[in-house]
A and B are shown apart, each in its own frame.
Chain A
């Protein structure tokens, strides 16, 4: 796994944990330990996200809004990237039309 996928995986995990804490805090709005963990994770998430988008480009179209160019179209979208990684590993994926999706650089 290269740095890009690793970073993306960390963002995924952090986002998931934040959703879990979000749901917990909805029913436990006074729980200070949960709130503390939520704040800490939100900060971590912010850092990871900034690190990723600065290095590898937008994860959402809106991340590229400060650029003069429309960055969203540049790279394979994050989920395409992951699917191609799976394909390379020999997994069948009928939903993905390889000839349309695989960029030249591969």
Chain B
């Protein structure tokens, strides 16, 4: 079985919220409903490279460019 990808999020922002853990994708997806995988902050391009590539997030590159 695939390992469940999780993300820690807060209800509200980091100053006011309470931490909860959610799956990056729904565990029981509905029919006829589209989902977007919850993105996790990692390494980013430099601003110069980002402007050239069209995104500062390397993980978004494959989808849009290749």
- Interface residues of A, Cβ cutoff 8 Å to B: 9-10, 12-14, 16-17, 20-21, 24, 27-35, 37, 41
Q: A16-B50, A37-B44 are in contact. List 4 more A-B contacts (CB 8 A).
A: A13-B50, A20-B44, A29-B10, A33-B41
Q: Mark B1-44, 1 if CB is under 8 A from A, else 0.
A: 00000001110111001010000000000000000000101001
Dominant SS at the B interface? loop
Interface residues of B in 40-66 (CB under 8 A from A): 41, 44, 46-48, 50-51, 55-57
Interface centre among B13, B14, B47, B48 (most CB of A within 10 A): B47
Determine the distance from Cα of A35 to Cα of B44 in the docked complex, in whole angstroms: 13
Choose from A12, A21, A27 the contact partner of B56 (Cβ within 8 Å).
Answer: A21
Counting from the closest, the 9 A-B pairs by CB-CB distance are: A30-B10, A13-B47, A17-B47, A29-B13, A30-B14, A13-B51, A20-B56, A13-B48, A16-B51
Report Cα–Cα, A21/B19, bound state, in Å: 21
Residues of B within 8 A of A35 (CB): 14
**Main SS at interface, chain A:** helix
Q: List 15 A-B contacts (CB under 8 A).
A: A9-B48, A13-B47, A13-B48, A17-B44, A17-B50, A17-B51, A17-B56, A20-B44, A20-B50, A28-B39, A28-B41, A29-B17, A30-B9, A31-B14, A34-B41
